[in-house]
Amino acid sequence: MVIIITTAIFIHFQFDRDSYNEWKIEQPESDSPIRYETTNLVGENPIGDQKLKLSDWRIASLYFSYLKFIAILILNYLIITQFGRVLKSVRKLKTFHQTNVEAFRKIGYYCLLITGLSTFNYWAFNDYTKSSFSISINILLLSLIAFILAEIFKEGNNLMEENKLTI
């Protein structure tokens, strides 16, 4: 639903930019401790003015941000789906099943992909340009936890199989 709404706004924005003259967004900020960024202010935009006009958004940056946002949204959906599967199997008392090992591994890879996608930011407006390279520690940590959980569940699955085959 969010993807459809975003895509609809994205398409409409390209056909009729003037409708978005009143729409303003905050200057993008990165709170990652590991980052490198360059900012350029052009023209009459005073430094104190933190708002950016949406209609000034340049097409390359717009496409970049849109595709990145959609990809992250899809990955988040996939993570939630995998997590839902794990919860379902726990309810069915099949906690240490091989499918859960795979689910946690997938979650780990998806988190790594999200980290990769959020590494580079490119914001280009008519009077403001910002490129930044930052690593999102939180998601990277989540991916690490998911991989550790996958290994724990793998060990649990081995023990369960061994117990099942002990006569």
Tell me how far apart the alpha carbons of residues 139 and 119 are, in angstroms, rounded to a whole number: 11
- Return the number of the residue (22 or 162) whose C-beta is nearest other proteins: 162
- Which residues sit opposite 26 in a β-bridge? 51
Nearest distance, CB of residue 166 and other proteins, angstroms: 4
- Return the number of the residue (28 or 156) whose C-beta is nearest other proteins: 156
Instruction: Write b or e for each residue in 58-88: b if 16 or more Cβ atoms lie within 10 A of its Cβ, otherwise e.
Output: eeebbebbbeeeeebeebeeebeebeeebee
Q: How many residues bind other proteins (CB under 8 A)?
A: 5
Helix, coil or strand: residue 42 = coil
Stretch that binds other proteins, among 28-36, 121-129, 141-149, 158-166 (CB under 8 A): 158-166
Q: CB under 8 Å to 109, separation ≥6 — which residues?
A: 143
Window 106-145: contact mask with other proteins (x via CB under 8 A): ----------------------------------------
Quote the tokens at residue 27: 């200057």
In this chain, which of 1, 47, 59, 167 binds other proteins, going by CB under 8 A? 167
154 binds other proteins, rule: CB under 8 A: no
Nearest distance, CB of residue 159 and other proteins, angstroms: 11
The single residue listed with the structure tokens 């990165």 is 30
Binding stretches for other proteins (CB under 8 A) = 161-162, 165-167
